[in-house]
Amino acid sequence: MSAKGLVWAMKRTAWCKNSGELAALIAVANFVKEDLTGCWASQATLAEKACTTDRTVRTHLRTLAERKVIVPGDSSLVSHLPADNRPDVWDLNKGLPTKPGTGKDFRSKSSKAGAAATGKNFRSPNDGRAGKFCSEGAENSSDDPGTVDPGTAGGDGRRPSTSSDGPGGGGKAASGKTKPARGKTNAVAMRAVASAIPAPLADLLEQDWPAGLPLSVNEAVSAVLLDEQRTVQEIVERVERRWALWRYEDAAVAQSGQGIARPLGVLLTLLAPSACWGNNIRCEDGVDIDTGAVCPRCEEAREDNATARRGEGAPPPAGYSVPFQRPTVDEPSPYVQCTGAGCGVKMMPTDDGLCRECRTAGAFA
């Protein structure tokens, strides 16, 4: 038995298309020498070790040899046997990587080297990356994103709440609808999106998906292109904006960052459909993509919800922190910042300049 041969084989299981090929590879690895060469066991012996028939093991050995997993060895090792009864001699391919390549990955070596040299987090769409973007690998269901709203996703790409009361649950736009069948995403679009993946995230994705990005990425890009009617440039801008605005960049590169536990989940969240409180297809994370102003339907829906909660005609309670809304160009912001030490929360104006939390804390100080 060759311990080194067995270790080598177990590290290269990705080269085997089925369990039969893996059993044949392990059988060969069992008889090689310490330098991974010189297996001259007969096909009957290999078939016995692989728990299969002579004919089946011969087929598996041929397919492994075609993919250069095993290579012909030194025939002189069987020169002492009768010429009409000499088994094949096999060596393990010592130069074989642990996983099969795909020609070109979704990131090229030149782009990785350039990013390391310049320290840039984003690559331009013209950095020459091409090749396979989708693989057949299984995915973890926890990587699936929900329809998200700014600030709802954590640095580990965890799925937001699926409650139907807010944008994290998809709101009215996502309820009761079945996804339409989509065609294959244009390769040019996929290259552009792959080029927009931030460098720290791309490094983690390449570790988890060396054979190419999974099919769910293609599905996500198709959804944005067809369902939301966004351009490729708008998808790229969405990825770059969310990466910085939703603190993924801080989680990945800051010294105090928590890191990114699920890179695929983060990428799908960066690509996920934008939630709109008012079911406006042109809403991009709360901003109307055509005008650049706050989405009017989101604003109306928020006002309606707030009115329903506190009663018709009742003003917002003084000192309560409220979701920040970007003012229009001609309208000053109605909100102020709390003057409490280290607070600065956005709120409606109060007489003492303190939010409810700071005022309560001061009363017990």
Which residue type is seen at 310? R
pTM beyond 0.75? no
Task: Write the pLDDT tens digit of every residue in 314-348.
Answer: 665 555 555 555 555 566 667 788 888 777 777 77
* CB atoms near residue 228 (< 10 Å): 17
- Given a contact cutoff of 8 angstroms between Cβ atoms, the answer to whether 334 and 351 are in contact is no
Show the tokens assigned to 336. 């102020």
Distance CA 152, CA 147 (A): 10
Rounded distance, CA 360 to CA 364, Å? Answer: 7
Per-residue model confidence as pLDDT tens digits over 111-135: 444 444 444 443 333 343 333 445 4
pLDDT tens figures, 48-85: 988 988 888 888 998 899 888 999 998 888 888 888 88
Tell me which long-range contacts 148-152 makes (C-beta under 8 A, separation of at least 24).
Answer: 148/269, 148/272, 148/275, 149/275, 149/285, 149/286, 150/242, 150/245, 150/246, 150/285, 150/286, 151/246
Look at 326 and 277; give whichever has higher pLDDT. Answer: 277
Identify whether the C-beta of residue 61 lies closer than 8 Å to the C-beta of residue 24. Answer: yes
Q: Which amino acid is at 179?
A: K
DSSP secondary-structure letter at 274? B
Contact between residue 348 and residue 335 where contact means Cβ atoms under 8 Å apart: yes
224 by Cβ neighbours in 10 Å (0-12 / 13-18 / 19+) ranks as buried
% of the chain exceeding 70 in pLDDT? 68
Least confident of 3-7, 177-181, 199-203, 251-255: 177-181
* pLDDT value of residue 307: 73
Question: Phi and psi dihedrals of 46, rounded to 5?
Answer: -65, -40
Reduced 3-state DSSP string for 3-48? HHHHHHHHCCHHHCCCHHHHHHHHHHHHHCCCCCCCECCCHHHHHH
Evaluated on CA atoms 76, 77, 81, 85, the torsion sign reads negative
Structure tokens at 342: 């280290």
Measured CA to CA, the distance from residue 57 to residue 331 in angstroms comes to 78
Q: Distance (Å, rounded) from C-alpha 343 to C-alpha 340?
A: 5
